Structure 1
Amino acid sequence: MLRAASETRAPSTTAPPAWVVVALACAGQFLVVLDVSVVNVALPSMRADLGLSAPGLQWVVNAYAIAFAGFMLLGGRAGDLYGRKRMFVLGLGLFTLASLAGGLAQEGWQLLLARAVQGLGAAVLAPSTLTLVTSAVPEGAARARAIATWSAVGAGGGAAGGLVGGVLVDLLSWRWVLLINVPVGAVVLACAARGLRESRAGAGRRLDVAGALLATAGLATLAYGIVRTEADGWTAPGALTALGAGLALLALFVAVEARTTAPLMPLTLLRVRSVASANAAMFVCGSAMFCMWFFMTLYAQNVLGYTPLEAGAALIPSSLAVLLGSKGAPWLMPSLGARNVAVLGALLAAAGFGWQSTMTADGGYVTAILLPGILMMLGAGLAATPLASLATSGAAPQDAGLVSGLVNTSRTMGGSLGLAVMSTIAASRTGDRTTGAALTEGYALSFRVSAAVLLVGAAVMAVWLPRKRAGASA
């Protein structure tokens, strides 16, 4: 009999090996994160082929981001109630079909619709990836290593977007930045159908429809307002209206959840110190770190004259540094503690961002891209694993999917807000000037501000994160 207060699984099947579950979850997470950035280098080709306007081109990226952020909490709770494997398969199937539709699009509106559906599939899929990992691996050192792999693959997906996109566009066409998901998604789907076992929590509970609608509408509207600021500025009426409406909807969501007997997100969950502090830290760090790939790619291409493929290749060492930091964190966590490793990662990243802020218009690869990039992403990797471990360690089984959705939401919303703010800061310094020196001044200022944000984040983590040594015990 299924019990709402505990994790439940189908008893008729043998539990798959933990490494199989982790591998499948990481494959799904890689696809989700890769598609946030892989289309960037293909945008000029998309515009030329489909006749997209400049605003329409921006929405190729934004349609995915808004749907992804807006439906994340709903996707996480649906996994708790209806099954993590079911939501994994449903989300990946939707994502794969939308990728096929986008790759075959003949009109601009068809591409934008496909990207929005991709984001919806990603929002259903992403929370299940982390929940499958935490459900398959017992809490302790083994789970910390599994989460490190999940974090590394996710960060690697975002980092690899520019390189993968550049290769596909140069060798094939822009359509393959979407079509490549189809064979990969089909293989992962077939393996998931055979290799995953169903698990859920909260049987007998109903989905909080009012809360789901308010949370989704609030997050999607807030994300829409954030992306509007990138194009229209922070004082534009449309952006301010959307931001205000998003915050109002989220405030109404909190009020409804406080009165609901079976809420979408129990507010008591935010009283758990590890959950609240780790998500806040992830939001702050994400707001500073996410812009790194964006500005480094622009700096390499617009100032140093790299091609898209060369720019992607130039950031490969940074991508490897993320993997090294994420996989190295579990080895440090037993002796230093999760909190101290997260603080160390934020400080290393801040040092890298500070170094990068000394960039010049004629900088050399080693000192202007390679070394500061490695330092930034090594710190990002070190911070991500303990924060994800702490955020999920304090949740009850019936809230595991929701907490996983919250982790992804914090990171996504923090990154979106940070990119919008940093883009505005860079543009304010550059102004109407288009020379390499002027662009470099804007990029450098954004890196300095990011370094300051990371220092603040490190201080907050040192004070607020619990002392618990996640991953200290087997």
Structure 2
Amino acid sequence: MTRRAKLVLMVLCAAQFIIALDFSILNVALPALGDDLGMGQADLQWAVTAFALPSAGFLLLFGRIADLYGRRKLFLTGLVLFSAASLLATLAWNPPVFLAARALQGLGAAVIVPTGMSLITTTFPEGPQRARALGISGTLLSLGFTVGMVLGGGMTDTLGWRSTMGLLAVAGVLVLAVAPVVLAESRHPERPRVDVPGAVTVTGGLLGVVYGLSSAAERGFGRPDVVAALAGGAVLLAAFGVVESRARQPLVSLPMLRRRTVAWGNLAGLTTFSMMGAVVFLLTLYLQEVLELSALTTGLIFGVQGVLSAVAGLVAPRVIGRFGARATLVGGLLGQAAFTAALLGIGRQQGGAWLAMAAVSLVSVVHLWVIISYGVIATSGLSDAEQGLATGLVTSSQQVGITLGVPLLSSLASAHVASLRDGGASFAAATLGGVRLALGVDTAVLAAVAVLVGVGLRAHGRTGRG
């Protein structure tokens, strides 16, 4: 790489690293955040969902807008928005302000992630340089998640939860100070049209579904507003399918989704991200609210998980080379289910922390194998002209999975906690019961999807058709 190329990669990876930090740095600070702003347990998942929802819903739209108006321009705009939103989150004086700031952070991330990836692929030619650049970017994303968990715990214990958001604001400003000097403008030569109807329907559909699931955690599934939100979300997502089937330049290529490798691969990706995100959220509540561990100790427990994930990333290519992508994908999903099932053994004794650390670390290892193998499968057998759409689907599966997993299982856990509390159980006992129920559902979903993906990809292997 030239010196300028290295500087470009450094800036783009720094931005991706900050986004990874944001996904994890607040997790261990949630109980302290809730106490300070007066947010109940059922509300805490909104601190995660408020960020994840816009980052998933607008990802494809901003990627296409960047093709039209310039990737560098949109990338810098995203950094400005993200940094300002992080400052607002730092200063938030009540839950609505904080959640609005988190939503703006997610919107900024929806701009930064696709434009950053596009700038990498347009800066580095296909081959060893691009592979190296993407490998470095992926490693830093994984490292950012780990560092975020450890930093979040330490900073929350010493400086308070607001310092976690302040760190993101400062980091965003530092990257913004260098990026305009280093990055060159880049546009798609064909200037594709923006699929506005597709963007509106998919974003509205996701918003309705996630709002309905999240509200059910507080109000139950039978309330009219919850039913209306879930039904409206389902209708909009169905409309999105109709819109995409007729669009000349769709956000999501439906014919591509009919290919078995693309469809089953992305189903596996969506499942592994949604279930893993839910496990981290649930264990954070367990460690701090049942075992009453500090935020720093909780962060260190998840730090072990991150170290093993980094090692797993180095080993994954050899595993795939030895057993094949399909076997690694299915085996990884089954392994994730098995190690999640092991978490059902957690209890109110302090030894539960050791079980949680060991099990979630092993879950993370096989989770990373699933991530890499599903990316290989979901982009295999496609022409160069189709790789952009395929990569967009892979990224969307990640973001949508992160969006849906936490509110879905959190709502189940919260409803069960409320039921146990009504029956006279203590807060700690009720919380433990809710966490166990959600972990059981997590295990069942992973096992079911593993079987479906295994059968679907095996059929593809026999027929040789997409």
Deviates more, 1:236-245 or 1:147-156: 147-156
* Correspondence for 2:105 among 118, 123, 129: 118
**Deviation, structure 1 residue 359:** 2.0
Is the 1:68–1:120 Cα contact (8 Å) retained in structure 2? Answer: yes
* Correspondence for 2:54 among 56, 63, 67: 67
Change (3 A) 1:109 1:182: same
Cα displacement string for residues 61-110 of structure 1 (whole angstroms, at most 9, x for unaligned residues): 44323322221221232234444443333222211121123223455544
Change (3 A) 1:255 1:311: same
Question: Matches of 1:199 and 1:457 in 2, distance apart?
Answer: 39
Change (3 A) 1:300 1:403: same
* Correspondence for 2:231 among 244, 265, 275: 244
Could you say what the CA RMSD is over the residues aligned between the two structures, in angstroms? 3.5
Change (3 A) 1:198 1:101: same
Change (3 A) 1:244 1:271: same
**Is 2:188 the partner of 1:201?**
yes
**Is 2:394 the partner of 1:407?**
yes
**Is 2:245 the partner of 1:253?**
no
* Correspondence for 2:453 among 431, 445, 461: 461
Higher helix share: 2
Cα displacement string for residues 270-320 of structure 1 (whole angstroms, at most 9, x for unaligned residues): 234433222111112223222121122222222222111111112211111
Deviates more, 1:435-444 or 1:306-315: 435-444
TM alignment of 1:39-438, pairs within 5 A: 39-43=26-30, 46=33, 59-106=46-93, 108-135=95-122, 147=134, 149-201=136-188, 203-364=190-351, 367-392=354-379, 403-427=390-414, 430=417, 431-432=420-421, 433-434=425-426, 436-438=428-430
Question: Matches of 2:346 and 2:37 in 1, distance apart?
Answer: 37
Question: Matches of 2:266 and 2:43 in 1, distance apart?
Answer: 33
Give the TM-score taking structure 1 as reference length.
0.83
Is the 2:57–2:206 Cα contact (8 Å) retained in structure 1? Answer: yes
Question: Matches of 2:100 and 2:428 in 1, distance apart?
Answer: 36
Cα displacement string for residues 188-235 of structure 1 (whole angstroms, at most 9, x for unaligned residues): 334443444444435233212222222222223333223223333333
Cα displacement string for residues 342-385 of structure 1 (whole angstroms, at most 9, x for unaligned residues): 22322332221122222232252674123212211111111112
Question: Matches of 2:185 and 2:457 in 1, distance apart?
Answer: 33
Is the 1:144–1:330 Cα contact (8 Å) retained in structure 2? Answer: no
Question: Matches of 1:141 and 1:354 in 2, distance apart?
Answer: 40
Identity of aligned residues (%): 36
The letter for the 2-side match of 1:303 is: V
Show the counterpart of 1:11.
Answer: none
**Is 2:440 the partner of 1:448?**
yes
Deviates more, 1:355-364 or 1:439-448: 439-448
Change (3 A) 1:292 1:157: farther
Question: Matches of 2:281 and 2:118 in 1, distance apart?
Answer: 29
Question: Matches of 2:117 and 2:459 in 1, distance apart?
Answer: 23
Secondary structure of 1:264's aligned partner: coil
**Is 2:31 the partner of 1:35?**
no
Secondary structure of 2:102's aligned partner: helix
Cα displacement string for residues 118-143 of structure 1 (whole angstroms, at most 9, x for unaligned residues): 11111111223444455556667876
In structure 2, the gaps of 5 or more residues are 462-466
Secondary structure of 2:161's aligned partner: coil
The letter for the 1-side match of 2:436 is: A
Cα displacement string for residues 9-30 of structure 1 (whole angstroms, at most 9, x for unaligned residues): xxxxx8954x655554443333
**Deviation, structure 1 residue 468:** 11
The letter for the 2-side match of 1:461 is: V
Is the 2:27–2:281 Cα contact (8 Å) retained in structure 1? Answer: no
